[in-house]
Amino acid sequence: MTLPSGMHVFERGWLSSNNVLFTGPGPATLVDSGYVIHAAQTVALVEHALGGQPLERIVTTHLHSDHCGGNAALQARFGCRVAVPAADAANVRDWHATAMNFHLTGQQCPRFTAQDTIAPGDELLLAGQVWQVLGASGHDAHALVLYCPTERILISADALWRNGFGVIFPELEGDSGFIEERATLELIDTLEVDLVIPGHGPMFTDVKDAIKRAFNRLNFLQASPVRNAENAVRVMLKFLLLERQQMLLADVPALVASIPLMETIRTRYLDKSNDELAEWAVQGLVRAGAAKRDGVMLRNYDL
């Protein structure tokens, strides 16, 4: 799959989001900046690709720690402008609500400032091409995706991956999310797309198949919302494991108890004590090949 010139995709793992760098023509722009603990490598990748040219803009598709965690470091390094979804602008300015949201899932993200906002219907000029900003509510209420009709490329963030999409977080907090994700997938289905650059995982060209898989996944989750909740628990524990690479098995219950969204899920959806939830989550990750028990330790693992 060939990318247009002036466009670079940094495929990160599952802790940091992928980053899309537009080196030119026009102001160098980065879409999504990964997680904070990888910020030094994100800066190094951007510096390497820009070869002395400054990064002038960052576009944040949604305010999740794995997508905006490098914003502070990049702003410090380059003094670049940051654009966030308009619906999140007030929270970014005040930061308090934003900090709370990161705390809800047990994640961290350093504060940054936003100079610009983007909203569905906007157009961005990136490496000399017009990119449309589209609303992609579902995984996050204010999430956006970027679509280039000329190149037929979609930067889909966590609305669509090759196999599925990100946890539908709004549903876990009593808000609607399944309907919104369905509308987002339907919107994506109407677009002429040859290449999808997802928020995590490799770029892919089997777009229609991926959309079909995503609809199947959504139907599965929507049929029994506890499934979305159970998935969220495993995803949040896996995220922590990716961040730390290992932890004492004995520490998992306290860690789970310290994460507000885990507690919300436990009391709303699952008939388990905190300790039972912790053990259930560990078993789920081990069974899926996403973690390994090693004596007293739980270690990150990937098949």
Partner 1 sequence: MNALNQTPVPSPCISICEMGPDGLCKGCLRTIEEISQWGRADDDYKRAVWQDIRLREQQIGFP
Rule CB under 8 A: which residues touch partner 1?
1-3, 8-16, 18, 34, 37-38, 40-41, 44-45, 48-49, 202-203, 242-243, 245, 300, 302-303
Distance, CA of 161 to CA of 211 (rounded, Å) = 9
Sheet holding 246-248, edge to edge: 246-248, 297-300, 291-294
CB of 22 to partner 1, least distance (A): 13
Q: Which lies closer to partner 1 via its Cβ, residue 49 or residue 183? A: 49
Please, what is the minimum distance in Å from the beta carbon of residue 256 to partner 1?
20
Instruction: Please say which residue, 37 or 249, places its beta carbon nearer to partner 1.
Output: 37
DSSP string, 203-264: -BS-HHHHHHHHHHHHHHHHHSTHHHHHHHHHHHHHHHHHHHSEEEGGGHHHHHHT-HHHHH
Rounded-to-integer distance, Cα 104 and Cα 12, Å? 24
When the beta carbons of 45 and 232 are compared against partner 1, the nearer one is 45
Rounded-to-integer distance, Cα 85 and Cα 118, Å: 5
Task: Return the closest-CA partner of residue 5 out of 20, 28, 24.
Answer: 24
Specify whether the CB–CB gap between 216 and 190 falls below 8 A: no
Report the residue number, 16 or 91, with the smaller CB distance to partner 1. Answer: 16
Considering the complex, what minimum distance in angstroms separates the CB of residue 36 from partner 1?
11
Rounded CA-CA distance 233/8 in Å is 33
**For residue 187, which phi and psi values (nearest 5 degrees)?**
-65, -45
Q: Tell me the closest approach of the beta carbon of residue 74 to partner 1, in angstroms.
A: 15
User: Which one, 116 or 209, has the nearer CB to partner 1?
Assistant: 209
Return the number of the residue (38 or 57) whose C-beta is nearest partner 1.
38
How many Å apart are CA 177 and CA 158, to the nearest integer?
Answer: 13
**What is the closest distance, in whole angstroms, from the C-beta atom of residue 26 to partner 1 in the complex?**
20
One-letter amino acid of 53: Q
What whole-number distance in Å separates Cα of residue 165 and Cα of residue 276?
27
What's the min distance (Å) between Cβ of 194 and partner 1? 14
Least Å distance, CB 276 to partner 1, is: 28
Alpha-carbon span 239 to 223, nearest angstrom: 26
Q: Which of 135, 132, 153 is nearest to 143 (CA)?
A: 135
* 44 vs 254 by CB, closer to partner 1: 44
Q: How far is the CB of 271 from partner 1 (least distance, A)?
A: 33
If the CB atoms of residues 1 and 250 are measured against partner 1, the closer one turns out to be: 1
